[in-house]
Amino acid sequence: MSRTAVPYWKLSGFYFFYFASLGVLVPYWSLYLKSLGFNSLTIGALVAILPATKLIAPYIWGWLADHTRRSMFIIRIACLLALLSFSLVFISQQLWWLTIAMLLFSFFWNATLPQFEAMTLNHLGDDTHHYSMVRLWGSLGFIFIVLLIGYLLESYDADIIPLVVLITFVIILLSSFIVPEKLNTPHADHSPIWYVIKKPKVLAFLVVCFLMLCSHGPYYTFYTIYLQEQGYSSHMIGVLWAVGVFAEVIIFLFMHRLLPVFGARKLLIVTLLLTTIRWLLIGFYIDDLLMLFLAQLIHAFSFGVFHAVGISLVHEYFTGSHQGRGQALYSSVSFGAGVAVGSLVSGLVWDQWGAGVLFIFASCCTMLALAIVWKFIQPVSEVR
């Protein structure tokens, strides 16, 4: 990959700050909500808002990007509106107000990443297998902020969490203005996108994405609270989150070699097996720090490998004028519907049956996904 031909640092910078914001929201937003006095069911429902709007928001914005062919303009508008709507959380902490603020914020915020993924792949051209070399900077941003917040929470209360989120959003908006536009390549196939979606391998892939991210719902919603209740310090909680994302960075460094050699199917099978083990380790070995570190290292596969394979398959399945909506659909089904359902189930199960049952549910999701990959996703067309 030529970094002179591709705006490598501009793309990487956007990823760095975008995922820095997620490094606050994903591990710590539920902790902030708990500090406001909300119960587990309410926390699960409020956290579910963030992915739930991905069911529709990315596709609407993806349609706009595909038809205007001005993805970066759409991204900048979405970043600005997300920043303004998130600012509403500082006005009131009442449940109804936070619900409205998070609905508005997430509707605009969830428009951003799928379009930027498509933009990045357009910039990469024939070198899409080098995507992970750009995306790894997002993981580094996540690591940086998750360690910083863990350190800050040793001295300050949870009120700093929304403030840090706001600061990251300001930087993201500014960084979006330095990324150049890159139009997708028009093609002669103007058939409806449904013709692509209804293909068995594409439907199977989307179901697998839903199940995989549904299994992450308990992790995203209650992992930090779970560790805190077991007596782990804020610093150690930050370290555990960072270990997982550091492992993700390492695997991203090698994905451009692993994808052409092993192909999507083999990588998905290994990933789903290891992710099943990961959820069981977290559910039943929470008092064993060594096991928790091992579980976090598996994040290299359960997120890193899975996401890199997913982005590549979406780029392969959805071509030309379908690219923006293809990335949006992937985001909607997985990080939208999958995480939302997983978060809602977590809120219902946490107080009633505890972490053991919740992470068994997560492992059942990944085993079902494994069966679908085995049956329907065959190595007919390997990823480049």
| Residue pair 314/199 in contact by the 8 Å Cβ criterion | no
Nearest 10 degrees: Cα torsion 189, 192, 195, 196: 70
Residue 34: other Cβ atoms inside 10 A: 18
One-letter amino acid at 342 equals G
The DSSP result for 121-176, as a single string, is HHHHTT-GGGHHHHHHHHHHHHHHHHHHHHHHTTTS-TTHHHHHHHHHHHHHHHHH
Q: Specify the pLDDT at position 383.
A: 39
Q: Which of these, 285, 251, 283, 260, lies nearest to 359 by C-alpha position?
A: 283
Q: What is the pTM of this model?
A: 0.80
CA distance 104 to 369: 32
Neighbours of 219 (CB within 10 A): 27
Confidence (pLDDT) at 186: 55
231 Cβ contact partners less than 8 Å away, ≥ 6 residues apart: none
pLDDT at 191: 65
Residues 6+ apart with CB under 8 A from 188: none
The confidence score (pLDDT) of residue 325 equals 73
Cβ atoms < 10 Å from Cβ of 57: 23
Q: Which residues of 83-114 are buried (b: 16+ CB within 10 A; e: fewer)?
A: bebbeebeeebeeeebebbbebbbbbbbbbbb
Cα end-to-end span (Å), the chain: 14
Distance CA 12, CA 53 (A): 26
If one counts every other C-beta atom within 10 angstroms of the C-beta of residue 277, the result is 16
Apex 91 CA angle, 89 and 93, nearest 5: 60
Count of C-beta atoms within a 10 Å radius of residue 183: 10
Contact criterion met (CB below 8 Å) for 43 and 33 = yes
- Give, in degrees to the nearest 5, the angle at Cα 165 between 250 and 325: 65
- One digit per residue, pLDDT tens: the chain, 384 residues? 545 577 888 999 999 999 999 999 988 999 999 999 999 889 988 988 888 887 787 778 777 776 777 778 889 999 999 999 999 999 999 999 999 999 999 999 887 887 888 788 778 876 766 787 888 899 899 999 999 998 999 899 999 999 999 999 999 999 999 988 776 555 555 567 777 788 888 999 999 999 999 999 999 988 999 999 999 999 999 999 999 989 988 998 888 788 888 988 999 999 999 999 999 999 999 999 999 999 999 999 999 899 889 988 888 888 766 766 777 788 788 888 898 899 889 988 887 888 889 999 999 999 999 999 999 887 654 433
Q: Check residue 183 and give its pLDDT.
A: 63
The total of other beta-carbon atoms located within 10 Å of residue 229's CB is 11
Measured distance CA(158)–CA(50) in Å, rounded:
19
pLDDT for res 347: 87
Residue 18: closest CA among 103, 130, 150, 120: 120
Alpha-carbon distance of 282 to 291, in angstroms, equals: 8
Residue 249: per-residue pLDDT? 87
Q: Can you give the pLDDT at residue 122?
A: 79
Quickly list H helices, the chain: 8-35, 40-52, 57-68, 71-86, 95-109, 112-124, 131-152, 160-176, 194-197, 200-229, 234-284, 289-297, 299, 306-317, 323-331, 339-376
The tokens 């359902």 sit on which residue? 341
Question: Do 343 and 355 form a contact (C-beta atoms < 8 A)?
Answer: no
Domains and CATH numbers, the chain: 8-183+191-376 (1.20.1250.20)
What are the residues whose beta carbons fall under 8 Å from the beta carbon of 4, sequence distance 6 or more? none
Q: What is the DSSP letter of 381?
A: S
